[in-house]
Amino acid sequence: MKQSKNSPYAVSLLRIRAVTEADAGVVLGLVRKLAEYERLTHLVVATEDDFREALFGPRPAVEAVLAFVGAEPVGFALFFTSFSTFLGRPGLYLEDIFVEPDHRGKGIGKALLKHLAAIARERNYGRMEWAVLDWNEPAIGFYKRLGAQLMDEWTICRLTGPSLEALAEDA
């Protein structure tokens, strides 16, 4: 099979597919590796059951795809539907994307993002968004080369743990 212009992998070797319930452990393993890369392993408390519920429970909260080289899972992307009030349309929010270190620079991350862009287009979503750590220069450069606009004027806000509980108590 023909090789992609920017990928040393033959198209027949790289495969991307939606996760199945049986993949919950694979997803968790890749999430742990992502957390290690981001120096955030101390924050990972998720279990296989958590992912099974989030992906396949009665009210699925997220979707995910896995990238394979041959039979080996080498990357994933986890995403969910967001909404733009200004566009009046849903969007795709990429929560996490990760490619195994030995497989980086070979077109897998780009293939995962292309796959998600195709999903967004197929569903008539208005945009695709994600966050990147400000110290992750390789990822920032990669995203810019793809045409992504960094939204420097926006700051992510987060409530979790005791802060979330305290605010909920006031409801």
What percentage of the chain reaches a pLDDT higher than 90? 91
| pLDDT at residue 171 is higher than 90 | no
pLDDT of 2 reads 39
Reported confidence tier of residue 25, pLDDT bands at 50, 70, 90: very high
H/E segment holding residue 128: strand 128-130
Confidence band, pLDDT 50/70/90 cuts, at residue 7 = low
Reported pTM: 0.90
Alpha carbons 108 and 110: distance in angstroms, whole number: 5
Task: Name the 3-class secondary structure at 151.
Answer: coil
Taking Cα atoms as reference points, which of 29, 30, 32 lies closest to residue 41?
A: 32
Q: With 50 as the cut, is the pLDDT of residue 17 above it? A: yes
Domains of the chain: 14-169 (3.40.630.30)
Q: What is the mean pLDDT of the chain?
A: 93
